[in-house]
Structure 1
Amino acid sequence: MSTPRAVPVSLAEIARLAGVGRAAVSNWRRRHPSFPTRIAGTDVNPQFSLTDIENWLRENKKLKKSAEREWLWPRFEALGDRDETGAAIAEVGRRLAGRGGTNESPRSNEPAYQEAAGDLIERAVDLGRREGDPDAFAFLLRRWLDVHVRQIATTPEPLAALMADIATHVAPVDGGITAMDPACGTGQLLEAVAEAAAERGGGAPTLLGGDRDPVLAALAEARLNLAEQAPRNNPAPVDAAEPVRIDVRAGDSLRDDPFAGVPADIVLCNPPFNERDWGYEELATDARWSHGLPPRTEPELAWVQHCLAGLRPGGAAVLLLPPAVAARKAGRRIRGSLLRTGQLKAVVALPPGCAAPHSVSLHLWVLRAPAAGDDQPIGGHLLVADGVSRFPRDPGREWTPDWTAIGDFLHEATKATDPAVESAYVRRVPVIELLDDEVDLTPGRHVTPSPADSAPRLAATWAEFEDVTAGMAGSARLLATLELTSVAQDAPTATTVAELARAGALTLRGGQQPPEAVIRTGPPSAEDTPFLTVPDLLSSGAPRGHLAADDLARREAVIAEAGDIIVVGVARAFSAWVHEGAPIALGPQLHAVRVQPEQLDAWFLAGSLRAPANVRQAGTHATSSSRIDVRRLQVRQVPLREQRRYGEAFRELAAFEQLARRTAELGADLVRDLGDELGAGRLASGA
């Protein structure tokens, strides 16, 4: 029997697995002679055997039971490449779903691999049954997708749910529906439509999925089978004698459709983008091209017609497509035919960042197969909705989708049936207007906010701008009265944060990175704690994740309370401020400082720490990515009464900074909106 290869892990991975900071792992290595020796890497970036580390942590009672699933992933990753790891995870899902084992691994004929993979799969299945079947599989699948994010495009769960909701409203069906995704990936769209069908009641749905990647198809099948077994939130009653039928097959849906001749009520699809080798030559005479043979450069229009061909009369399809499909010259003939027949019902431009590729505004195309008795006059309308203008982005800041607001916008846009219903960002465009030489369906070209919609927004922006500038002017007057003097020869000496901590004047705690599985990104509950990281500060400044109140990681996290000072330990985002809101958990390179009020004034300390000279004093090197040694930051030693005088000035300076930043944001908004209004010729005559 061969000896299994050691799984290497770095110091950062050990810290994540153990649920502690990297500094704690470095301390263990330095203080404990029994700490395992490195098996690879360098002295600066060493790597250790995962098995040795796990045994050492267990012997020293530092192994946390809550992080048990974290220890599985490095072993799965060490099995081999993307396909081998994915096949093993799919096998875990199959067994948890009670579907039995398979022998379809890319290396199924290698005894050493089979032995290592078999033991690992059994361990994961055992953990899954103890913790909850879907959770363990979902964790492994999420980690696998995170590693291969550049190779595998997925539809975010909130967007998948919105697509399913739109489709089930465009094609309401009584009883069990048949839903299909011809490029299903890992099955997120089919899972979403199953959830939507359960909420609406009726019979159990039939889920049909196909993907040319056998590993993705296997993962999708396992995911759907596990989801079908999991209890849903407030599900409508479904006849227990009608189980959900799941049929996922590996194959190229365009070249060899595995479900040809099987009509579907709903088709959801996020097809591959910009693929030239989609079968142009061999499919030239295919019967699916009822609107014309798609040009070689228009594979997305081949997927559009494939989805339409798979619908039963009255069925609906929703596709996620790149924006170029709506405007490329090569596809205008097919777009025109879709409009003339009335099968294309809506085009919705999503704000950039909703799905990969995140830098562009992807489009949702909503289509409906004609039913008996449908009128398809040229005088019909196409609904267009411009989410790009509805959710403007600051080019200099990262944007996180507000799925609740986006969902409300999509519901408003796609459920309006009255041709007269229009709003600032939604319009029903007469088809005859679109049938020109370009047949450009880009929503932004056909949606222009009306004065009735833009005037209230402009008025509100002006009102806030005036309030903010008035506040900034008042703050500026106070700051301008400060008298600055030269430093006297007997100026007080400076001390450091480390010395103040040793003297008991303050406590310093460094933030930690909790296991990824416990960081939630959906809407938080009232008991959840926001989780702040350095990337958050570099983008929007607001926490994007949160920790559940009942999670062990929440109880072990570093929490900054009101009155604590938060210090950023990275040069490019270096700052220090007194936290005045609700408790907040801190991630790596963020520090919480709590002062003894009888010895230190919090605002004085925060203002002193963030002085620009301190960056040069405490930075590790001169680049913007350098770390700040918070313990080396300096503070002048002055009496408490004088500290409070300076503290008031620092507080006013911080308020002035916030007002100045908000003034700049509002000014940019006003310049953009007024430029649009003036460019549209909406300048009213003066009195």
Structure 2
Amino acid sequence: MSPELPPVVVTLAEIARIAGVGRAAVSNWRRRYDNFPSPVGGTDTSPQFSLPQVEEWLRRENKLKAALNPLDRLWPEYESLGNREATGLLVAQVGLWQSGVKTGRPTAGPPLDQRQRHLLERTLELAKQDEEHKIFDLLMERWLRAHVRQVTTTPVQLAELMAQAAAIKHPGPVRTVLDPACGVGTLLVAAGRRWGADHAAGLRFLGQDIDTVLVELAKARLAVGGFTERDLSNVSLAAGDTLRADAHPGVQADVILSNPPSNERDWGHAELATDPRWVYGQPPRTEPELAWVQHAAAALAPGGVAVLVLPPAVAARRAGRRIRAGLLRSGVLRTVIALPPGAAPPYGVGLHLWILCADGAPGRGGADGAELTFVDTTHAAPPASADKGGIDWPAVTAQITEVLSGTGAQGSISVPVVDLLDDQVDLTPARRVPRTRAATIVDLRRLWTRFDAHMRELRDAANALSALVPVNDDETVSLISVGELERAGALEIRPGQGLPESLVRRGERQEDGARVLTGAPLSGQAQLWLPATAVATGEQDGSLTVTASQDVIVSVLARAFDVWVDTDAPSVLGPQLVALRANPAVLDPWFLSGCLCAPANVHRAGTHASTTSRIDIRRLHVPRLSLEEQRRYGEIHRKITVFARELTDMRSVGGELSRALGDLLAAGQLPRA
């Protein structure tokens, strides 16, 4: 007989996922239906509900948009286990059992209790027909998403690129692969795919991580990734602090792939002061990344190759210049590659790849001819935002592999080591790699055409605005709040809502798609959009907030407050945005937009207690004016908007022009006067 399980609770977001709707739709159900289940826990802002009661209500009211996904039914039970460790270890067990590497109990952590065993059995029953191990992949994806602030993972595309780079620099047989900071094993899995044919030859995979749960998940990923139980006998993954207590002392690895932790101050600086790994100098306390670099260099076999992901500051910080100089003099550091921002967490930073080669590795000249190769991929790839979807991985991979294999030189330069050994020892690729090409006459004329167009628009707007003269009138204009306008029916307030992540697309928008806005418009962000069918369905069931022409959009976060008229409707608004739909018979949208963004108005409506403070939009005020006067003021605001936009665009184009002319000047390609 199955054991009786404690009650399982779900949040509003989980109910929305089970029902296949947006969270706002669930909130609407709570308000509209008196028989909606009452909360059984949580708080007023984040209530929790009984899962069996919710399921019964959804079926009774016919609110399920599709057949109930069994995984959506099971995941709340995983979360209800109570802590990150228990949930992660159980997810790892699912992967090991599903792949045939069965164990009577976890290799780490306490034995499974009755509830966990029952949940594991139900999951494995569900996974019997899952030959592609999608159940484990989905469970792990949700676990990582739930703990994204605690766990940093290496994107699969970057892991594949690193393995490919190592294979180019180490063309010979590989016997040992090491990741001293393996996390959930993404790099080891990529290595397994790259050198998988060598399993039978006794290829060893070694890894270590300070987080026991991540080590167990890494074991499960290797098992799911095609490693048989016999193959796993050559896999050694250990939990522990690699720098303080290396689980693989004396190892000689042919390939090291690692994305070590960064910016950690408590990495063992004092107790490791005399460590023999510090061949190039003891790393300063503020340079933990150089400790990992030297650890990797010490663990390389003759001819071995290491590829490490490092923050860009490691290439230039003054405290690490002596160690960088030592790595250059010894010939260990061969290549520094600058990746575009968005390649890996933190996504707003352009990370570096350092490639180390131990003595005996091919491709190195004598001491007199020693060189360091710099590669800057930011020139070959489109600019990326802090969103993962902005990287053109095929272009980045092609550029790096061509440079490493010697078949191309785009965005790269090889600099003699002696030229780098100055007071700074700055190894930043952007300061060494020249631009890929100078501007052509076509480029210049296109830029001048754009500049002239913006100049004309700016001049027209400036002429209209410069003719305006302030009116010295002592008469006080009465004000009316947005809340009062709403109650009077002059406008509707439509808050943005949570977005269906599985449906949101990134990149170039299709013609019938609607753009998705998640905050104040910022240049350089990867474009988000939703297909027309999803927009129509979401607007119909109330799960999406979709704008119409001339709606006023307000970004309500105090630190990013902004107001603008949506001239590119329809747009789908995220939770930090609000749409104001004005009644055109009584309220002009451009007048409304211009008044709402006034600094004094914002100060009155916002608390400004922290960066997460929100503007109370109903407390914003606008003057009481006739519709005719509103339209006149609205037209002025429209011209101010055009003036600001053209000024920004002209500054951008002017910057491109000045850089292009500067490059031509430096290359001696401008005609003499």
TM-score tier (shorter): 0.7 to 0.9
Name the residue aligned to 2:79: 77
CA distance in 2, matches of 1:133, 1:584: 37
Structure 1 residue 58: deviation in Å?
3.2
Using a 3 Å threshold, how does the CA distance of structure 1 residues 548 and 263 change in structure 2: closer, same or farther? farther
Contact map agreement 2:374 2:429 (CA 8 A) in 1: yes
Contact map agreement 2:439 2:664 (CA 8 A) in 1: no
The farther-off stretch of 444-453 and 512-521 is: 444-453
Using a 3 Å threshold, how does the CA distance of structure 1 residues 500 and 97 change in structure 2: closer, same or farther? farther
Alignment of 1:569-588 (within 5 A): 570=556, 572=558, 573-580=561-568, 585-588=572-575
Deviations 1:491-546 (A, max 9, x none): xxx99678779xxxx9997654244444455x5685894662333x3544856545
CA distance in 1, matches of 2:137, 2:353: 27
Gaps of 5+ in 1: 230-239
Contact map agreement 2:159 2:187 (CA 8 A) in 1: yes
Using a 3 Å threshold, how does the CA distance of structure 1 residues 636 and 685 change in structure 2: closer, same or farther? same
Give the counterpart of 2:606 among 602, 614, 622. 622
Deviations 1:132-191 (A, max 9, x none): 8544433332333334334333223343333233223333458x8864323211122233
Using a 3 Å threshold, how does the CA distance of structure 1 residues 77 and 353 change in structure 2: closer, same or farther? same
Structure 1 residue 32: deviation in Å?
2.9
- Code of the aligned partner of 2:590: G
Q: Does 1:433 align with 2:419?
A: yes
Name the residue aligned to 1:381: 371
Name the residue aligned to 1:186: 184
Using a 3 Å threshold, how does the CA distance of structure 1 residues 420 and 414 change in structure 2: closer, same or farther? closer
Using a 3 Å threshold, how does the CA distance of structure 1 residues 36 and 144 change in structure 2: closer, same or farther? same
Give the counterpart of 2:517 among 506, 524, 533. 533
Name the residue aligned to 1:139: 138
Contact map agreement 1:350 1:364 (CA 8 A) in 2: yes
Q: Does 1:318 align with 2:307?
A: yes
Alignment of 1:559-570 (within 5 A): 560=546, 563=549, 565=551, 567-568=553-554, 570=556
CA distance in 1, matches of 2:27, 2:89: 35
Q: Does 1:612 align with 2:613?
A: no
Name the residue aligned to 1:304: 293
SS in 1 for 2:214: helix
Contact map agreement 1:9 1:47 (CA 8 A) in 2: yes
Name the residue aligned to 2:205: 208
CA distance in 2, matches of 1:348, 1:209: 25
SS in 2 for 1:467: helix
CA distance in 1, matches of 2:511, 2:204: 37
Using a 3 Å threshold, how does the CA distance of structure 1 residues 119 and 660 change in structure 2: closer, same or farther? farther
Name the residue aligned to 2:610: none
CA distance in 1, matches of 2:653, 2:601: 35
Contact map agreement 1:19 1:514 (CA 8 A) in 2: no
Structure 1 residue 377: deviation in Å?
1.2
Contact map agreement 1:561 1:579 (CA 8 A) in 2: no
Alignment of 1:35-50 (within 5 A): 35-43=36-44, 46-50=47-51
Name the residue aligned to 1:117: 116
SS in 2 for 1:217: helix
Length-normalised TM-score, structure 2: 0.74
Alignment of 1:236-255 (within 5 A): 247-252=235-240, 253=242, 255=245
Give the counterpart of 1:96 among 95, 98, 109. 98
- Code of the aligned partner of 1:165: Q
Contact map agreement 1:518 1:547 (CA 8 A) in 2: yes
Alignment of 1:201-600 (within 5 A): 208-212=205-209, 213-228=211-226, 247-252=235-240, 253=242, 255-258=245-248, 261=251, 263-264=253-254, 266-273=255-262, 274=264, 276-278=266-268, 291-292=279-280, 294-295=282-283, 297=285, 299-308=288-297, 310-311=299-300, 313-327=302-316, 334-350=323-339, 354-357=343-346, 361-371=350-360, 376-378=365-367, 379-386=369-376, 399-400=386-387, 404-405=391-392, 408=395, 411-412=398-399, 415-416=402-403, 426-436=412-422, 439-444=425-430, 446-447=432-433, 452=438, 464-477=450-463, 511-519=496-504, 526=510, 529=513, 532-535=516-519, 537=520, 539-540=522-523, 542=525, 544-547=527-530, 558=544, 560=546, 563=549, 565=551, 567-568=553-554, 570=556, 572=558, 573-580=561-568, 585-588=572-575, 590=577
Structure 1 residue 380: deviation in Å?
1.8
Contact map agreement 2:85 2:213 (CA 8 A) in 1: yes
Using a 3 Å threshold, how does the CA distance of structure 1 residues 71 and 543 change in structure 2: closer, same or farther? farther
- Code of the aligned partner of 2:516: L
SS in 2 for 1:567: strand
Using a 3 Å threshold, how does the CA distance of structure 1 residues 385 and 559 change in structure 2: closer, same or farther? same
Q: Does 1:168 align with 2:167?
A: yes
- Code of the aligned partner of 2:237: R
Q: Count the aligned residue pairs.
A: 649
Length-normalised TM-score, structure 1: 0.73
Deviations 1:21-66 (A, max 9, x none): 5554344333433322333355565443344333333333324446
Structure 1 residue 114: deviation in Å?
1.7
SS in 1 for 2:256: strand
Gaps of 5+ in 2: 608-612
Using a 3 Å threshold, how does the CA distance of structure 1 residues 544 and 526 change in structure 2: closer, same or farther? closer
Structure 1 residue 79: deviation in Å?
1.3
CA distance in 2, matches of 1:482, 1:437: 57
Contact map agreement 1:531 1:587 (CA 8 A) in 2: no
SS in 2 for 1:48: strand
Using a 3 Å threshold, how does the CA distance of structure 1 residues 618 and 74 change in structure 2: closer, same or farther? farther
Structure 1 residue 89: deviation in Å?
1.5
- Code of the aligned partner of 1:163: M
Aligned residues: percent identity? 36
CA distance in 2, matches of 1:342, 1:244: 35
CA distance in 2, matches of 1:204, 1:627: 65
Q: Does 1:152 align with 2:141?
A: no
Structure 1 residue 345: deviation in Å?
1.3
CA distance in 2, matches of 1:632, 1:162: 54
Contact map agreement 2:455 2:650 (CA 8 A) in 1: yes
Contact map agreement 1:574 1:610 (CA 8 A) in 2: no
- Code of the aligned partner of 1:622: G
Deviations 1:65-121 (A, max 9, x none): 466544544432331332212101111222333332442286635xxx722222333
CA distance in 2, matches of 1:340, 1:218: 40
SS in 2 for 1:163: helix
Contact map agreement 1:177 1:203 (CA 8 A) in 2: no
Deviations 1:286-305 (A, max 9, x none): 5x66x456547455444334
